[in-house]
């Protein structure tokens, strides 16, 4: 399920429902990997944006006089705009769990089709 979800996030057109459906399957590191993979495919790193990445960043930092901020280009280059970067990082921090799924198995709701698939022993 996790691999299928991650692969579906690499499509240019992702809906909010699709993103929400799998947010419990991944952790923040996985979400960051999705953003990086989308960038490699020249698509904005924010899964809900289908814009192409057109700018090649060569420097390490970007000074925005408009926003009066300094951005780390290593993160900024994954997105088509500052708005997408900020929205994506806010979504990640607000909705995507920090811990990997195997550390949260007791917290995840298991559906009827998952009964009997939990191989952990109850010691």
* Residue 80, both tokens: 């088509």
User: 112 falls in which pLDDT band (50, 70, 90)?
Assistant: very low
Q: Could you read off the pLDDT of 77-107 as tens digits, one per residue?
A: 999 998 999 999 999 999 999 988 777 776 6
pTM comes to 0.74
Name residues whose C-beta falls within 8 Å of residue 33's C-beta, 6 or more positions apart in sequence: 6
The domains of the chain, with CATH numbers, are: 2-107 (1.25.40.820)
Q: Where are the alpha helices (DSSP H) in 1-123?
A: 2-8, 16-22, 28-40, 73-76, 82-95
Rounded CA separation 91/98 (Å): 12
Average pLDDT for 43-47: 96
Sequence length of the chain is 123
Q: What is the pLDDT of residue 107?
A: 63
């Amino acid at each position: 399920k996790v691999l299928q979800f991650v692969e579906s996030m690499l499509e240019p057109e992702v809906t909010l429902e699709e993103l929400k459906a799998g947010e419990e399957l991944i952790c923040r590191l996985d979400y960051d990997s999705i953003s990086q993979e989308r960038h490699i495919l020249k698509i904005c790193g924010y899964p809900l944006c289908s814009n192409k990445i057109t700018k090649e960043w060569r420097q390490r930092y970007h000074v925005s006089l408009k926003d009066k901020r300094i951005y780390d280009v290593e993160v900024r280059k994954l997105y088509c705009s500052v708005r997408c970067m900020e929205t994506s990082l806010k979504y990640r921090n607000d909705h995507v769990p920090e811990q990997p799924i195997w550390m949260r198995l007791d917290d995840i709701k298991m559906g009827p089709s998952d009964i009997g698939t939990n191989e952990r022993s109850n010691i």
